[in-house]
Amino acid sequence: MKPIKGSIVAMVTPFHEDGSVNFEKLEEMIEFQIENSTDGILVLGTTGESTTMTHEEDDQVARFAIDKVHGRVPVIVGAGSNSTQTQLEKSIKYADMGADALLLISPYYNKANTQGMISHFSVCADQAKCPVILYNIPGRTGCSISEEVVKTLSKHPNICGIKEASGNISYATSIARYLSDDFAMYSGIDDMITSMLSIGASGVISVMSNILPGQTHEIVASFHQGDVQRSLDLQLQYLDVIHALFCEVNPIPVKAAMNLMGMDVGGYRLPLCEMDPKNHALLKQALQEQGLC
C-alpha cells in the first residue's frame, strides 16, 4: 500500500453509560465519516482511549471497524505499546484481521536509546503483514523519535510514514528531507495542517475530523489541488474550534463537543473525566460561533 493522502480521522471510542463500548454508535460514526469524505479511519489511537481498554476490547473494536468499513477507505489500527513484544503481538493480529496500516508509538516510560528505538519499530515492521506508521508524540511518551531514527526507518520497506505530533515545526522540517513516494508525513496537530502540508506532509491524522470531517478533508484537498489560500482560510476559520478541542487533554473536549452536537458518544474512563465547567463553556461558545450546536 502506498501512503494514504488526505484527512484521516483519529476516531473516539463511544461508550455506554456503564462504560462498555457502544458498537452501534461506533457504526454510526464510521458511516458519518465516510459520508463526509474522510480519507481514512484510525481506531485505537490516543483519541480512542485505548490505554484504558482491555486487549479484548481493543481486538473487538479493531475487528468491528475493519468489517464495517469493508474496504471503502483505509483503516489504520493503533497497535503501539511500550513493550515491543506486546506491540508485535498486536501488530501481527491486526494485520491478519485486515488492517490497512498500523500506528506504532515510541516506547513511553521505559524509553530507549537509538538502537532500541530502531529495533522497537523494525521488529514489528519486519513481521506484520501490513504497512507501519510511526507515531511521534513526545508530550505523551516522554521521548521523541530522533531524526537519526526517522532517517533509518524511512528506508524500511514496510514503514510507510510518520504521524508527527510534537508541534515542533523545526523538527518536522528536518525529517521532511526523508519523505518519498513510500514514506509520508502526517500532521498530528490540527492547528498546523496547512503548515505541515507546506513542508511536504501528505495529510493529517485529525481529532477535529470527528466533528468536521468534510471541512478537515477540504483543508488537505484544497492544498493538494493547488488552492493553498483556501486551505489556509479554512485552517484559520476553524482555529478557535481547534483550540477549544485541546483546552483540556484529548479526547475529553472532542467527546464533549460531539455530545453537545447530539452525537451521544458517552463519557470517559478514569483517569479521564468531565471537563471543567469554564472550559466546557468555552468549547460550547466556539461550536456555537460556527453553527455546530
Residues with a known catalytic role: 135, 163
Question: Is the separation of the CB atoms in 208 and 192 below 8 Å?
Answer: no
Q: Which three cell numbers stand for residue 202?
A: 501528505
Question: Is the separation of the CB atoms in 106 and 165 below 8 Å?
Answer: no
Running DSSP on this structure, what letter comes out for residue 72? S
Question: Is the separation of the CB atoms in 262 and 228 below 8 Å?
Answer: no
**Who's near 53: CB < 8 A, 6+ residues apart?**
13, 21, 44, 61, 269
Q: What is the CA radius of gyration of the chain?
A: 18
Q: Where are the alpha helices (DSSP H) in 185-260?
A: 193-198, 213-224, 228-237, 239-245, 252-260
Q: Which three cell numbers stand for residue 150?
A: 526517522
